[in-house]
Amino acid sequence: MTKPKRISKIVIKRLPLYNRVLQQLEENKAEVVSSAQLAEKLGRTPAQIRKDLTYFGQFGRRGVGYKVSELREKLREILGIHRRIKVAIVGAGRLGQALMAYPGFRKQGFNIVAAFDIDPQKIGRVINQVKIYPLVELERFMRRGGIDIVILATPAPVAQEIVDRLLKLGIKAILNFVPARLVVPENVIVHYVDLAIELESLCYYTK
């Protein structure tokens, strides 16, 4: 084959942004939207939006534009968020608890099924309807029902060790808040969110 047809990460990262705008348009009862209108709202070019979308199919009509509800549904399918995604938070320290309390996940339709920690002091506590379980329960949770994504918020020194356990259970995606590079096989994807690093790169522009 000449074309591997692998869609780049950078494209995938834009799809949720498109989805967000479509959600708003839907709420405002918009029926149809053009790539130019989407681009305007997103601060991007119409060409980029059309190109991104055509990696996945032909969703628009020439001379008309895109049907809002239809395109949104397609995007949700592409992203895999048309079904209910089960998320677990591993590490229920300060940051973990903050994430348990964060309302945005539920608001976007995610199902935070549980939090996990080793500290017996924390086990059994409930924050924002999410209960903290001992780490050993992870296996049970994975078996019945499964967990689609783990949000990792452990202390840095134990992160890799815990990731190794998660990998054995078959976890495929990790949202990592721990400031440590994780070693995972290449079929597993890790997104890094490092708040201190975000702040540091901002500093550059304050001078």
d(CA 20, CA 17): 5
d(CA 88, CA 53): 30
d(CA 174, CA 185): 12
Residue 18 as a binder of its own copies (CB under 8 A): the answer is no
Buried b (16+ CB within 10 A) or exposed e, 139-154: eebbeeeebbbbbbbb
Tokens coding 89: 């938070």
Give 63 or 80: the residue with its C-beta nearer to its own copies: 80
Question: Which listed option, DNA, its own copies, none, makes contact with residue 79 (CB within 5 to 8 Å by class)?
Answer: its own copies
Tokens coding 110: 């995610």
- Contact present, 177 and 151 (Cβ < 8 Å): yes
Q: Which of residues 138-177 bind DNA (CB under 7 A)?
A: none
Question: Which listed option, its own copies, DNA, none, makes contact with residue 35 (CB within 5 to 8 Å by class)?
Answer: DNA
Residue 65 as a binder of DNA (CB under 7 A): the answer is yes
Question: Which listed option, DNA, its own copies, none, makes contact with residue 198 (CB within 5 to 8 Å by class)?
Answer: its own copies
Residue 54 as a binder of its own copies (CB under 8 A): the answer is no
Question: Which listed option, its own copies, DNA, none, makes contact with residue 36 (CB within 5 to 8 Å by class)?
Answer: DNA
Least gap, CB of 118 to DNA (angstroms): 38
Tell me the per-residue interface mask from 28 to 57 with DNA, x by CB under 7 A, - otherwise.
------xxx-------xxxxx-xx-xx---
Residue 141 as a binder of its own copies (CB under 8 A): the answer is no
Q: CA 11, 35, 53, 28: dihedral to nearest 10 degrees?
A: 90
d(CA 78, CA 11): 12
- Taking only Cα atoms into account, the Rg of the chain, rounded to an integer number of angstroms, comes to 20
Residue 27 as a binder of its own copies (CB under 8 A): the answer is no
d(CA 131, CA 148): 18
Q: Which residues bind DNA (CB under 7 A)?
A: 8, 10-11, 34-36, 44-48, 50-51, 53-54, 58-66
Q: Which residues bind its own copies (CB under 8 A)?
A: 12-13, 15-17, 19-20, 41-43, 78-81, 85, 87, 94-95, 97-99, 101-105, 107-108, 110, 148-149, 151, 172-175, 179, 181, 189, 191, 193-207
